[in-house]
Amino acid sequence: MTFRIRQIEQTATGREIVRDRDIAGETLTIGRSAENTIHLPDLAVEPRHAEVSVVSRGRLRVEAVGTLGFVVDGAETRSASIDSLGGAELGFGTYRITVSQDEDGAVLLTIRKAETAATRSGNLEEKRGFSLGGVLPGKRRMSWALAVVIVLAFLALPIVTNLMSVKGPQVADKSTVINDGSWNPGELSLAHHSLANKCVACHVKPFESVRDETCRSCHKDVHDHAPAARLASARGNLPLGQAALWKVAHALGKEGPGACQDCHSEHKGPTRLTAPSQQFCADCHGQLKSNLPDTRLGDAGDFGKLHPQFTARVITDPVTRHPAFVSLDKKLREDNGLTFPHKLHLDPMGGVARMAKNIGTERGYGANGLECKDCHRKTEEGVRFKPIDMERDCEGCHSLAYERVGGIVRRLRHGDVEQLTADLLAAKWDHSKPLVSNRKRPGEYAEGGLYQFRYSGGVWPGLQLDVALSKDGICGECHRPTRINGRPGVVPVSQPMRYFDHGWFDHAAHKQEKCTTCHAADTSTSASDVLLPGIKTCRTCHLGEDAPKSKVPSSCAMCHGYHITETGSADRKPDVNPSSPKKVALRRE
């Protein structure tokens, strides 16, 4: 048996749209649910309202399967037998289904929507008088009324109270602007969470973006990356589209490009400040040499593809400590006042290793000879290393004992030449007796032990001082002798804490690597060698922000900062050539 369902719908202009579909089978269902054969989207129709089945050829049986009945030719019923040849009209809510027989003998069910319900139970107009909809104003009036309330409560009220409030950042007290929290697009960051209910602390003027001067009212120690004129020159000419957008932004009171909020965007949830993307830096530094011809900085846009060789600050004069900035493309030499060979101390088969093994047993080092960590001590946070300290790091092997008085072994005071001179002049030399007796004694005071100390030369004390501060004396083992104001002395020692002014390196993040992976200390024969790795060494692990999985993605912010910390020009390098007439700009360490 074939049912032909004809759906007739009417457009707003009165034109009818007719759709036919054939259903093969002996039964079909009628209801509000979409899975029914005949879907009638009317609340007066139950989800599964009725079922139509074929009794005999051309004769149908309609049964209500829910709690509601239906209408057959104007009469309400729950079941009916219909001859399709004679025809009938079924009513379900506001829908009418006309039963007839098509020309090919198929049962034709024509569905139309009427203006009124077929039954009293489905007559929504009669029910309207007993509902809330019969009491309230029309939808259009209610929509306009709600729109006015929204404008007054969430736009007019905050604006009026803002104009009437005290001007300026209200950081200390709660905001006096009423209902301004309704404009909040999201939670503040963790750094600004205390300002959650003080919108006017940052948004001083209505309909104006946050100004840099407002940010600096709290962040007084934050400075620009460089002078505004140089920043603008470094950006170069903006594309036509961006330039047009910035003109519109400026007309609306927005600062930039380069304003605080360009990087420090807020209302993105309780998170910490995220590092800027690599492209943020590359916008200026990618073509810096062409936009700023007088700069001393090279172009940098991607650590793996476009980045200059590192430039280190090395000491060229240990007395004045005058620095020079030299590229690591060259073999760096530094005049630090020392004559210390790393290779001699790190040779696992050398005499130093044997001495360290004997002496360092009680101190917890030297089992495998000297290692870097035996002398170079990390700072508390593990980022850098503390300066070498003679008493802590060297005297275990390089004893400064010079005299024994009773049970007291006297030592020279390291770093104080005047005191050293006084001690040696006052020492009572008796070369017939060693500092300790020649009889065998265990430990550090045995002959050849740590505290045995003998001088060669004449008996006159003044000559002993010349020997101590000479190239072959006790001080000359590590220091370069010189004469200061006609008196013996040593060249001052310089121990730089940092070689890279414009970059940052964290040793704690590289603790899985050996020191010699990056620093060629085991082959260095001179204290003047600057044992810094070049960019090629770093690129074995680090590439740019879009590095493959086998490498470490390294954006600019991993090693570089943005804001300037003005702590004195002695520790800073200008980013322009000295011959440039422009003012130099101090950059962040």
| CATH number for the segment(s) 2-128 | 2.60.200.20
d(CA 441, CA 184): 81
What's the pLDDT at 57?
Answer: 80
Candidate ranges 201-205, 238-242, 531-535; pick with highest mean pLDDT: 531-535
> In the block, which residue shows the tokens 């006084």?
422
Is residue 405 within 8 Å of residue 382, measured between CB atoms? no
The pLDDT tens digits for 109-134 are: 999 988 776 665 555 555 555 566 66
* Long-range CB contacts (within 8 A, 24+) of 279-287: 280/556, 281/556, 281/557, 281/560, 282/556, 283/235, 284/231, 284/234, 284/235, 285/234, 285/556, 287/236
**Average pLDDT over every residue of 412-416:** 86
Among candidate residues 167, 198, 184, the one with its CA nearest the CA of residue 266? 184
- Structure confidence at residue 331 as a pLDDT band (50, 70, 90): confident
- Structure confidence at residue 382 as a pLDDT band (50, 70, 90): confident
137 CB neighbour count, 10 Å cutoff: 10
Candidate ranges 25-29, 56-60, 180-184; pick with highest mean pLDDT: 25-29
Give residues with Cβ within 8 angstroms of 523, minimum separation 6: 343
Average pLDDT of the chain is 81
The per-residue b/e assignment along 186-225, b for 16 or more CB within 10 angstroms, e otherwise, is eebbeebeebeebbbbbbbeeeebbbbebbeeeeeeeeeb
Among candidate residues 373, 311, 344, 298, the one with its CA nearest the CA of residue 530? 311
Say yes or no to pLDDT of 241 above 60. Answer: yes
488 CB neighbour count, 10 Å cutoff: 19
What's the pLDDT at 430?
Answer: 53
d(CA 90, CA 96): 6
99 CB neighbour count, 10 Å cutoff: 22
Cα distances (Å, whole numbers) of residue 89 to 3, 43, 57, 81, 110: 16, 20, 19, 12, 9
Phi/psi for 56 (5° steps) reads -150, 180
d(CA 169, CA 205): 10
Give residues with Cβ within 8 angstroms of 487, minimum separation 6: 421
Give residues with Cβ within 8 angstroms of 181, minimum separation 6: 197, 199
Pick the residue with more confidence: 320 or 70? 70
Pick the residue with more confidence: 564 or 323? 323
Question: pTM for this structure?
Answer: 0.61
User: Which sequence spans correspond to the domains of the chain?
Assistant: 2-128, 138-274, 311-339+497-571, 401-477
N residues, the chain: 589
Among candidate residues 468, 492, 368, 372, the one with its CA nearest the CA of residue 412? 468
542 CB neighbour count, 10 Å cutoff: 17
Say yes or no to pLDDT of 413 above 70. Answer: yes
Say yes or no to pLDDT of 381 above 80. Answer: yes
Q: Is 299 exposed, middle or buried (0-12, 13-18, 19+ CB in 10 A)?
A: middle
Name the residue type at position 276: P
**Average pLDDT over every residue of 58-75:** 90
Say yes or no to pLDDT of 446 above 80. Answer: no
